[in-house]
Amino acid sequence: MDFEVTYSEEQQRFRQEVRAWLAEHVPPGAARTPVSAEDNYGRYLDLRELGRALGAKGWLFPRAPVTYGGGGLDLDHAVILEEEVDRLDLSLPPYYDSGGRLGAASILVWGTEEQKRAFLPPIYTGQVRTWQLLSEPGAGSDLASVSMTALRDGDEYVLTGQKIFVGSDNGADRIWLIACTDPNGRRHENLAWFMIDAKLPGLEVQPMELMGTGGEGGTDSGVKNTVFFDGVRVPAFSLIGGENNGWKVASTHLELEHGAGGRIGRNRLWERLLRYCRETKRDGLALTQDRDVRDILADVYIKAEVTRLFGLRNFGLIYSGRKRSYEGPQLSYYRKMAGLWMTGAILEAVGPAALTSDPGWGSPDGFLELQQRNGIVAVHPGGTADVQRVSMARRIGIGRAAPESAGKVE
Amino acid sequence: MDLALTESQEMLKGIARSFMAREAPKDVIVGLESEPSGLIPELWKKACGLGWLGMLIPAEYGGGEASLCDTAVLYEELGRGPLPGPFFSSGVLGALVLLEGATPEQRRALLPAVARGERILSLAVSDPGTSWGAHGVTLIPQREKGGFSLTGTKLFAADATSATDLIVAVRTADAPGDVSFLLLDARAPGVSTRRLPGFLSWQCEVALERALVPDTALLGGAPGQGWATLTRAMLRALPILCSYMVGGCQAVYEMSVSHSRTRVQFGVPVGRFQRVQDHIVRLVNHLDAARWTTGEALWKLDTGRPAEASVHLAKAVASEGYLEACNAAHEVHAGMGSMNEYGLAAHTQMSRTLFHYLGDPRWHKRRMADALEW
């Protein structure tokens, strides 16, 4: 067994190249927590520019095929890029782009050649930022029951309905969504996916007021939206994977969203929490010197480590092309439940200071206050913890002789 | 990065699995429960013939000089039984204590026979009324002409009833760490061992009544080095014990999945019920947490990386995981799981035994925090 990527000379050379390039192109304070709305927007524009610069080098989606504007790099090189970006507390892409990441992966598997040529290059080169639209007021865990309609009218589809828990702040250029293409059709045989423009007549975005947004990994903007579609007309060309075939396409999207890709990055929450507990005194003693706090921190650390190892294991499965089963949803389930549990553990360890975002009396940038909210809210996006458990049970084959297969991701 | 077993590890796994199927099927393991010793002589001889007792012992003492990762593959298979007997006590912990703390003469005298399985080691550390740790060693040896005399009791000594040689921890000065080990013939006058009755697996009482050992029995030849020796030995031994527990978790997981498919209630396999599914999901999460924390600790040790925190973490996770995995399996199996002949109960008892063995999860979490220098 080898738990670490062993770097070849070529990889180390590539690392130097990447590091030097990033030093030159990543704007200062790119990973900062914005202090105002203007600062937030300014940071977003900086990151989009960085995205385009990365995209021009094929480094925004390093493993995507060159034919469609991707980097065409092998995993050995992509790993280096991810590590170097992670070092700067950023990710690839460096902004919220779930529709691009998951939509492009789905198009790559299910789109026609023409569609790949049309939709993939703008995503892979950072020209567009894409939101994904799945949940509706009446369809959360039960994704197959989405009632937003996409009805064929000549060379177009007409979209009508409402999507919730969408995107981030600062808008999007494209939208990746699932809708019902046959309201009278059978369940699982009446859906389709669309890749469309985000600014069309009849389409309206309204921010939601939420306790938290459950974001992870530095791309959390703290904003989710409702999107209304009132007879929005889109070209038939934007339907991906065939009319009424959307449930199959969903398997690719959901597999990736449910953690199959794995992760080898650092655990930023843990690093910040430990630093905070070292530097914060209570009753005259650093929190880390309090035996009860140390015991709680040990349990927090262990859950963070197990989460990291599950991510590493999933990465390793993809890296070596091995068969996956329940590991994707397991990572997702474990991470969600660990995060939820940590809200209580951190509250107990740190005390009410964990609850305030006050710059004087709370944690730096209010990162603990954010965790108190997001640890709870993160249980739901991308499939609830309970949905993940159901997936695990099917993949394991609990109570059934024939286990379900993992979704197709490549 | 490669998280799979190597070809030779796969081969060892195959050999160990067919050995277990042949020599230690479920009825044999269940039948052992009433025996004072967990050692099956015929099985032991065959295992020794395969070199399994000497895997971690260097070639110069007749051992196989295997890596920890290789050795762990074997112990995972033994843990699936769970096969008792002093495999870990003698071939891993005992052998490593000798390697870490014995004089060259002591090593030469004992290790080759340990590697062949002819001498069997068992550590006796804790005294009555103490918790795990150096402070828990309170037995004070009395000076006798040319040696020491020991009178007292050691508790929860794993596999002492199977041992030919006991490694007894004694207090040789007042500072907490002033612990020494004495090598003691398990059949010497004044030494008696007894398996403790109850819900624990071959943990024993060692009663010492004026048991005499010569000066040459002092491990390492100088006093006060015992706890440091044990700490170094445990660093490498614990992940092997964890692998044994991973094997145990894996076995109860497979049992539970299989039961969920075949046990019919309300006209359907019980695994169709989400409540039952949840137990197995909880179980597999404990199994995988134990597996990957253990794997990383083993890998760090074999590649010379600092591993102390990872080892303590793995012991805490695996001990808790094995216990919780068994709990979940009992929920899946309901009444059938409590029938001794079914085989789950042997794991449940073993999981409780290993929970505290060589330090409970809380103790290891605290050592982990210390190692990480919080």
CA angle A102, A107, A112 (to 5 degrees): 180
- Please tell me the class of the A258-396 domain: mainly alpha
Average pLDDT over residues B178-184: 97
Residue A406: left (phi > 0), alpha (psi -120 to 50), or beta?
Answer: beta
CB B280 within 8 A of CB B260: yes
Domain coordinates in residue numbering, chain B? 7-116, 121-224, 228-371
Q: Is the dihedral of CA A398, A404, A409, B1 positive or negative?
A: positive
Q: Is the pLDDT of residue B195 over 50?
A: yes
- Residue A202, CB-side half-sphere exposure with 13 Å CA sphere: 12
How many Å lie between the alpha carbon of B89 and the closest alpha carbon of chain A?
A: 25
Q: Give the integer Cα–Cα distance in Å for B96 and B102.
A: 10
Instruction: Give B82's DSSP letter.
Output: T
Q: Give the integer Cα–Cα distance in Å for A250 and A180.
A: 13
Q: Which of B148, B204, B147, B137 is nearest to B176 (CA)?
A: B137
Give domain B228-371's CATH number out of 1.20.140.10, 3.40.50.880, 2.40.50.140, 1.20.120.1200. Answer: 1.20.140.10
Cα of B298 vs its chain's centroid, Å: 15
Domains A9-95 and A258-396 share a fold: no
Here the tokens at position B36 are 């004072």
**Start-to-end CA span in chain B (Å):** 29
Question: Are the beta carbons of A320 and B1 separated by less than 8 Å?
Answer: yes
Instruction: Give A198's DSSP letter.
Output: S
Q: Which residue has the tokens 């891993």?
A: B92
Question: Are the beta carbons of B260 and A278 separated by less than 8 Å?
Answer: no
Q: Which of A213, A378, A271 is nearest to A31 (CA)?
A: A271
Chain A residue with Cα closest to B367:
A298
pLDDT of residue A216: 46
- Residue A400, CB-side half-sphere exposure with 13 Å CA sphere: 16
Q: Which of B161, B181, B162 is nearest to B172 (CA)?
A: B181
CB of B285 within 8 Å of a chain A CB? The answer is yes
Give the CATH number of domain B7-116.
1.10.540.10
Average pLDDT over residues B307-327: 98
Average pLDDT over residues B55-62: 98
pLDDT of residue A221: 64
Chain B residues closer than 8 Å to A399 by CB: 260-261, 268-273, 276-277
What are the Cα distances from residue A339, in Å, to A86, A376, A377, B56? 20, 7, 10, 40
Q: DSSP alpha helices (H): ranges in A26-90? A: 37-56, 75-87
pLDDT of residue B177: 86
Domain coordinates in residue numbering, chain A? 9-95, 130-245, 258-396
Q: Give the integer Cα–Cα distance in Å for A394 and A326.
A: 8
How many Å lie between the alpha carbon of A306 and the closest alpha carbon of chain B?
A: 6
Point out the residue among A288, A305, A313 whose CB comes nearest to the CB of B313.
A305
Q: Give the integer Cα–Cα distance in Å for A384 and A389.
A: 9
Average pLDDT over residues B70-94: 98
Percent of chain A predicted with pLDDT > 90 = 81
pLDDT of residue B250: 98
Q: Which of B304, B308, B315 is nearest to B356 (CA)?
A: B315
Q: Which of A234, A72, A36 is nearest to A153 (CA)?
A: A234
Q: Give the integer Cα–Cα distance in Å for A111 and A242.
A: 9
Helix axes A291-319, A268-279, angle to 10 degrees: 160
pLDDT tens per residue, range B210-249: 999 999 999 999 999 999 999 999 999 999 999 999 999 9
Q: Which of A281, A286, A279, A239 is nearest to A114 (CA)?
A: A239
- A79-88, B69-78, B287-296: which range is least confident on average? A79-88
Q: Give the integer Cα–Cα distance in Å for A114 and A252.
A: 20
Backbone angles phi, psi at A102, to 5 degrees: -85, -35
pLDDT of residue B257: 98
pLDDT of residue A213: 80
**What is the ipTM for the molecules in this complex?**
0.96
Q: Give the integer Cα–Cα distance in Å for B204 and B193.
A: 7
Here the tokens at position A271 are 């690093």
Q: Is the pLDDT of residue A217 over 70?
A: no
Domains B7-116 and B121-224 share a fold: no
Point out the residue among A302, A316, A389 whose CB comes nearest to the CB of B313.
A302
- A2-6, A336-340, B140-144: which range is least confident on average? A2-6
Chain B residues closer than 8 Å to A333 by CB: 281, 285
Question: Are the beta carbons of B1 and A316 separated by less than 8 Å?
Answer: yes
Average pLDDT over residues A239-261: 84
Radius of gyration of chain B (CA): 21
Average pLDDT over residues A169-196: 97
pLDDT of residue B292: 98
Question: Are the beta carbons of A3 and B285 separated by less than 8 Å?
Answer: no
Query: Residue A142, exposed/middle/buried by CB under 10 A (0-12, 13-18, 19+)?
Result: exposed
Q: Give the integer Cα–Cα distance in Å for A371 and A361.
A: 16
Let me know if domain A9-95 sits in CATH 3.20.20.140.
Answer: no
Chain B residue with Cα closest to A5:
B1
The full DSSP string for A316-349 is HHHHTTPPPSSHHHHHHHHHHHHHHHHHHHHHHH
Percent of chain B predicted with pLDDT > 90 = 98
CB A254 within 8 A of CB A383: yes
Average pLDDT over residues A274-283: 96
CA dihedral A5, A8, A12, A18 (to 10 degrees): -70
Here the tokens at position A316 are 């390793």
pLDDT of residue A116: 98
Max CA separation in chain A (angstroms): 74
Residue B181: left (phi > 0), alpha (psi -120 to 50), or beta?
Answer: beta
Let me know if domain A130-245 sits in CATH 2.40.110.10.
Answer: yes
pTM over 0.90: yes
Q: Which helix (H) or strand (E) holds B115?
A: helix B104-116
**Start-to-end CA span in chain A (Å):** 25
Q: Which of B45, B140, B130, B197 is nearest to B359 (CA)?
A: B130
Residue B174 amino acid letter: D
CB of B372 within 8 Å of a chain A CB? The answer is yes
Average pLDDT over residues A310-314: 93
pLDDT of residue A268: 85
Query: Residue B289, exposed/middle/buried by CB under 10 A (0-12, 13-18, 19+)?
Result: buried
pLDDT of residue A218: 40
pLDDT of residue A219: 47
Count CB-CB contacts under 10 A for residue B174.
6
Tabulate helix, strand, coil % of chain B (nearest 5): 60, 15, 25
- Residue B338, CB-side half-sphere exposure with 13 Å CA sphere: 3
Q: Give the integer Cα–Cα distance in Å for B348 and B327.
A: 8
Q: Give the integer Cα–Cα distance in Å for B249 and A342.
A: 25
The pLDDT confidence band at residue A215, using thresholds 50, 70 and 90, is: low
Cα of B7 vs its chain's centroid, Å: 26
How many Å lie between the alpha carbon of A299 and the closest alpha carbon of chain B?
A: 8
Average pLDDT over residues A48-74: 96
Question: Are the beta carbons of B369 and A298 separated by less than 8 Å?
Answer: yes
CA dihedral A282, A283, A284, A285 (to 10 degrees): -60
How many Å lie between the alpha carbon of B261 and the closest alpha carbon of chain A?
A: 4
The full DSSP string for A82-134 is HHHHHHTT--SSSS--HHHHHHHHHHHHHS-HHHHHHHHHHHHTTS--EEEE-
Q: Is the pLDDT of residue A243 over 70?
A: yes
Question: Are the beta carbons of A398 and B288 separated by less than 8 Å?
Answer: no
Q: Which residue has the tokens 């480590």?
A: A305
Instruction: Give B87's DSSP letter.
Output: I
Point out the residue among A306, A392, A398 whose CB comes nearest to the CB of B317.
A306
pLDDT of residue A226: 97
Q: Which of B188, B201, B186 is nearest to B326 (CA)?
A: B201
Average pLDDT over residues A194-217: 88
Q: Which of B300, B316, B311, B351 is nearest to B330 (CA)?
A: B351
Residues contacting residue A120 through CB under 8 Å, at least 6 positions apart? A64, A68, A69, A70, A104, A107, A108, A111
CA dihedral B140, B142, B146, B147 (to 10 degrees): -30
- Please tell me the class of the B121-224 domain: mainly beta
Q: Give the integer Cα–Cα distance in Å for A191 and A150.
A: 9
